[in-house]
Structures are given as C-alpha cells and as structure tokens.
A = this chain, B = another copy of it.
Amino acid sequence: MPIIQFNLIEGRPESLKRELARRVCETVSEVLDVSPTTVRILIHEMGLNDFSVAGMTVAERLENSTPGVPYEKN
C-alpha cells in the first residue's frame, strides 16, 4: 500500500511526470516486494515562491544568480 507524495517545483512536462510515475513504481515495487498495483503516487507542484531553502525562495535565487552560470532550480 505504499502511498508516495512528491513535492516538485512546477514546470516539468507531462511526459516526464508519466515517466517518473512509471519508474518510481517499478523501483518501489521491486525494493519492497509488493505488487505494482498497490503503489500510488501523488505529485504536488509548487510555484517558484512556494519553496525555500535557508529562507530564500527559488524565485529569489533565480533573480540573484549570476548570468551564464546555470542554477540548479530543481
């Protein structure tokens, strides 16, 4: 009966969410030795000001990042 809730920053394509569901179900089913049909996955997407580390939201980090240096926003 694993029920798994993902919290992700919004913006990923629908096809990637489908792949995530499929791949995580496979892994969980295998590791816990349960039928895939018992695995439920929920995805909750958040806006760029709805997630923060050290008091700074993702949106703030993006605004403050150096141009040309990729920011790992995930």
- Copy number in the complex reads 6
- Output the least CB separation between A39 and chain B (Å): 6
CA distance A63 to B33 in the complex (A): 22
Chain A: how many interface residues by the 8 Å CB criterion?
A: 56
Q: How far is the CA of A51 from the CA of B59 in the complex (A)?
A: 26
Q: How far is the CB of A20 from chain B (nearest CB, A)?
A: 5
Question: Is A36 a contact of B54 with CB atoms below 8 Å?
Answer: yes
Instruction: Flag whether A7 is at the interface (Cβ < 8 A).
Output: yes
Interface residues of A (CB under 8 A from B): 1-9, 12, 14, 16-28, 30-46, 49-60, 72-74
Pick 7 A–B contacts, CB within 8 A, sort by A.
A1-B7, A23-B27, A25-B55, A35-B74, A38-B72, A39-B55, A40-B40
